[in-house]
Structure 1
Amino acid sequence: MTKLEEYKKINKELGFMAHAINLMYWDMQTIAPEGGKERLSDSITYFSTEMFKKSTSDEYYKLVCDLSEPEEFDKLDDVMKFDVKKTKKDLDEMRRIPADFYEEYVKTTTASSMIWPKAKQTSDYSLYEEPLKNTIEAVKKYQKYKRPDMEVYDSLIDQFEEGMDTKTIDRVFGELREELIPLLDEILKKPQPDHSKFTMFIPAYKQAELCKMLVEYMGMDMNGFAQAETEHPFTTGIAPGDVRITNHYHENDILQPIFSAIHEGGHALFDQNIDRKYDDTAGSQVNMMGLHESQSRFYENILGRNINFWKPIWPKVLEIIPEFKDITLEDFVREINHVENSFIRTEADELTYCLHVILRYDIERAIFVGGADVKDLPKMWNDKMQEYLHVTPKNDAEGILQDMHWSDASFGYFPSYLLGSIYDGMFLEAIERDLGSIDDILAAGDIKKITKWLNENIHQYGATRTSKEVLEAVCHKELSAQPLIKYFKEKYKKIYG
């Protein structure tokens, strides 16, 4: 075999191993019985370690280095040039991590992932304190091995949003904080909708049926899609042609599962529409999570909370959920745009959600820059909730234990949610520039036109464009929070007068 053929062969084998790991993780988070989770955890650790060894082996690294030499590199097509260049960069970092430490790192984070649901369900932070402390220490070591010349938190942010830094985040988050807090204060003075009419019992199977209908309406290829229930909603690309989402059904509150489905559906549409020529290459592994979150939050908020999204499908909603028969579409839309200070990030309205993310950003910086003690984090969380949202969680389940991200070592991910919303303000301007009013498009039942625009301008390129490059190519502008601020002001002044 040529060097390129050998390289592609190993990439295919790594893809098979990733497929197995993804399936086992999916199983552990969804339908695996409690008695089988320890074995699943051990299996995930084993295959992850073997995959790490193979992907950082001398044999593989030599192939990458050889293909990076000008006489070999110049022969490659654009797909393989991107793949080899990105793989070389990643390997140079990953090979700094000792294999024995990596195995211990996987054990530590997997154990944390297993304990977090129990701690949340019992609202007992003491169960989680030690695993979280161990995970934080493991993350610090991991990043120092990987990028010894970078500050740990800067490295974590760059890991999830390549090219992003705290200086830029501080700037755009500051723009939002300055404008949104006065707007929020004005909104909270206004009369609020009656939520009680939405606290009806709706069986989980009906909620699941509605959620499936919604993602199909958005443009999902249902031949490459599946959904299941778990403690915390997430999306995972199992393998090429197989994208799955999870949800958590609340039988007395259907609104949260509805918007979790639309949100995760946005992620899945991105993964599903990456050009298949990038299969088994770095181009299929989108690590710009701000860009990924922009897609999920664009569907969830910009589209999903617009009355025109629902007009064409409201009869179908009533057919699946007849319990809504006494609720008007206007009542429904007023409720889903209800702004209030709340405890749970995933249940927050799109306006106060910004503050939920800034809170987490502040705490992560306190951990990795300020050296905050793990035992003090629940109090720090509650103090910041009071400062930003004027509410204090009654327990740790609705406080610091509500998110799964830190349990699997995803520190640095939270800022990507708000970056995604900031990107959305810019994408909204670009779509209306190219297609016209989204209100008109949605009201006509043509949401797939918007999905196609996103496919063609963002999704198909996978990881081959950074978020900055996407904004330049699609929006012809540098990052700014002003379009999102304009969207918020126009929308909520109309809703709340």
Structure 2
Amino acid sequence: MSQTLEQFQAYQTRLEQYDQAIALLYWDLQTAAPKDSIEAKLSAVGYFSTESFRLSTADEYGSLLKKLSAPEEYDQLSPAMQLTIRRNLRDFERFKRIPEAFYTEYVTEKARSEKAWEAAKEASDFSVFAPHLDKVISMTKEYVHYMEPDQDVYEFLVGLFEDGMDTETIDRIFAELKEGLLPLLAKIEAAPKPALSALQQTFDPDAQKKVQELLLSYIGFSFDCGAVAESMHPFTTTLCPGDVRVTNHYYADNPISSIFSAIHEGGHAIFEQNVDKDFWHTAAAQINMMGLHESQSRFYENILGRNPHFWTPIYEKMSALLPEFKTVPFDTFIKAINDVHPSMIRTEADEVTYGLHIILRYEIEKAIFRDNVKTDDLPALWNQKMQELLGITPANDAEGILQDMHWSDGSFGYFPSYLLGSIYDGMYLEAIQKDLGDLDTVLENGRILDITHWLKEKIHRFGSMYNSKEVIQRVCGKEISAQPLLRYFEEKYSKVYEF
């Protein structure tokens, strides 16, 4: 190992310590921090973020990156370290263009905006959140212009969350999916609806937490390097190597919500936990392709978790932990988790209509950054698109534009990744069945960990060594297409609804 590489790794360790402190503060803000501590916590977030920013834009750091980019050094590095140098030098050059005072203000405003969103959602009043959102939108545009002044803002944001992806590709495959989804939804809507009254009862939230532990363990989440907590909006975060955490939210009248949030967030966490240890402390361990990440969470949640055969080995175990399910026949539960109908809340949407929820958000984000739609006009635009795509209109802001936290922290460009993930899943399904055989049989026999192992060997262990287009080509041998997902939907729901 060269002296320059040793110096770089020592420098990276310092950066990682700040990142861990920031991640822990965010975790605390979302899960446990008392109300009166919020401003102090936000101040600490601003401090550590500023210090991290200073380190990541210091001339010393840039000098190390440039030295390691020289052929005589670069050619001696491992592929993961080469990726680290390429990515970090790119980010260094971008961040170097951002004024430090602006960066501190931006980080602090986003954290403050998150708390304003929580208050607005609780009050179902967009006006409480609007000035914060307006400022975050404005500052996000400024943030991008500092880094890449000649690039389209929204194009940059999409690439920020899904490296190698572009809006031209997304437009093509989303249009392909939309063309197939709308007539499929019409056929489902015309079919008889299942009777689900057995689920109309109260389910103990504390017992739901025990079910979450069962499900996480069953699909392969390791509690030796993971933890769980409760938050308003379920999420997954990696604090450091060996510490991947998930949250959930529990509704007494809707246990299916926490059940599938557990499986979804578990899919995210398993991906992070399964990254090869040789990649720790490199850019490969920082999985910055959100579509790829969402493909793992949504594969567990939908392709596996909504398959009836997933539940055959564990339904009685779940009922023992949550006794109310003893009064819910297995067939009724299966119909409930595969019930397709237009609904207001994205996170509660079925896997068919979910894609339309994402297309709505994608179209609004393009309107924000390309058409400069006014912030105050967003609720009306949201409601209009809900009516166009799903045939329903929110009764209030909480079930409309305030339902997601993403825009509060400036995560514009993230939403498309959810649907990209589902599109990738249709392709993974076909590849898995070629290698492991019929999925129904694998699940019926309780071999869920065989699937987790397949995903680990094909995808997880590489972290972000390859972008999503490269992963799809390596795993499936094809270019990205929505057709496999549409085939999966058509085959599955023609049986469920008998059309």
TM-score (norm 2): 0.99
Aligned-pair CA distance for 1:77: 2.1
Question: What secondary structure is seen at the aligned counterpart in 2 of 1:356?
Answer: helix
1:275 alignment partner AA: D
1:24 counterpart residue number:
25
For residues 311 and 63 of structure 1, what CA distance do their matches in structure 2 show? 55
Aligned-pair CA distance for 1:65: 0.3
Mapped contact 1:215–1:262 kept (Cα < 8 A): yes
Mapped contact 2:195–2:332 kept (Cα < 8 A): no
1:290 counterpart residue number:
291
For residues 388 and 79 of structure 1, what CA distance do their matches in structure 2 show? 43
Deviation per residue, 1:400-426 (Å, 9 max, x gap): 000000001000000000000000000
How is 1:138-157 mapped onto 2 (pairs within 5 angstroms)? 138-157=139-158
Question: What secondary structure is seen at the aligned counterpart in 2 of 1:312?
Answer: coil
For residues 272 and 199 of structure 1, what CA distance do their matches in structure 2 show? 36
Mapped contact 1:108–1:138 kept (Cα < 8 A): no
Aligned-pair CA distance for 1:193: 1.7
How is 1:186-265 mapped onto 2 (pairs within 5 angstroms)? 186-265=187-266
Aligned-pair CA distance for 1:92: 1.7
Mapped contact 2:196–2:332 kept (Cα < 8 A): no
For residues 61 and 194 of structure 1, what CA distance do their matches in structure 2 show? 63
Deviation per residue, 1:395-448 (Å, 9 max, x gap): 000000000000010000000000000000000011011111111110000000
2:319 alignment partner AA: L
Deviation per residue, 1:319-361 (Å, 9 max, x gap): 1011111211111011100000100000000000000000000
1:101 alignment partner AA: F
Mapped contact 1:354–1:418 kept (Cα < 8 A): yes
Deviation per residue, 1:226-271 (Å, 9 max, x gap): 1111111110011110011111100111011111111010000111
Greater shift, 434-443 or 86-95, is seen at 86-95
For residues 262 and 307 of structure 2, what CA distance do their matches in structure 1 show? 16
Which structure 1 residue ranges, 4+ long, deviate > 4 Å from structure 2? none
Aligned-pair CA distance for 1:97: 1.3
How is 1:105-124 mapped onto 2 (pairs within 5 angstroms)? 105-124=106-125
For residues 13 and 212 of structure 1, what CA distance do their matches in structure 2 show? 34
For residues 209 and 31 of structure 1, what CA distance do their matches in structure 2 show? 20
Mapped contact 1:202–1:251 kept (Cα < 8 A): yes
Q: Report sequence identity in percent.
A: 52
2:323 alignment partner AA: P
Mapped contact 1:288–1:463 kept (Cα < 8 A): yes
2:353 counterpart residue number:
352
For residues 138 and 166 of structure 1, what CA distance do their matches in structure 2 show? 22
Question: What secondary structure is seen at the aligned counterpart in 2 of 1:96?
Answer: coil
For residues 203 and 10 of structure 1, what CA distance do their matches in structure 2 show? 48
Aligned-pair CA distance for 1:94: 1.7
Aligned-pair CA distance for 1:199: 2.4
1:347 alignment partner AA: E
For residues 285 and 35 of structure 1, what CA distance do their matches in structure 2 show? 33
How is 1:9-48 mapped onto 2 (pairs within 5 angstroms)? 9-48=10-49
2:55 alignment partner AA: K
For residues 198 and 298 of structure 1, what CA distance do their matches in structure 2 show? 25
How is 1:318-337 mapped onto 2 (pairs within 5 angstroms)? 318-337=319-338
> Structure 1 unaligned runs (5+)?
none
Question: What secondary structure is seen at the aligned counterpart in 2 of 1:325?
Answer: helix
For residues 95 and 195 of structure 2, what CA distance do their matches in structure 1 show? 53
Question: What secondary structure is seen at the aligned counterpart in 1 of 2:404?
Answer: coil
Question: What secondary structure is seen at the aligned counterpart in 1 of 2:356?
Answer: helix
1:316 counterpart residue number:
317
Deviation per residue, 1:150-188 (Å, 9 max, x gap): 100000000000111111011000111111100100100
Mapped contact 2:80–2:283 kept (Cα < 8 A): no
RMSD over aligned Cα atoms? 0.9
Deviation per residue, 1:437-486 (Å, 9 max, x gap): 11111000000000000001000001111001101100000000000000
For residues 50 and 265 of structure 2, what CA distance do their matches in structure 1 show? 29
1:397 counterpart residue number:
398
Q: Aligned residues, how many?
A: 497
Question: What secondary structure is seen at the aligned counterpart in 1 of 2:312?
Answer: helix
For residues 146 and 72 of structure 1, what CA distance do their matches in structure 2 show? 27
Mapped contact 1:359–1:384 kept (Cα < 8 A): yes
For residues 377 and 195 of structure 1, what CA distance do their matches in structure 2 show? 35
Q: Say whether 1:408 aligns with 2:434.
A: no
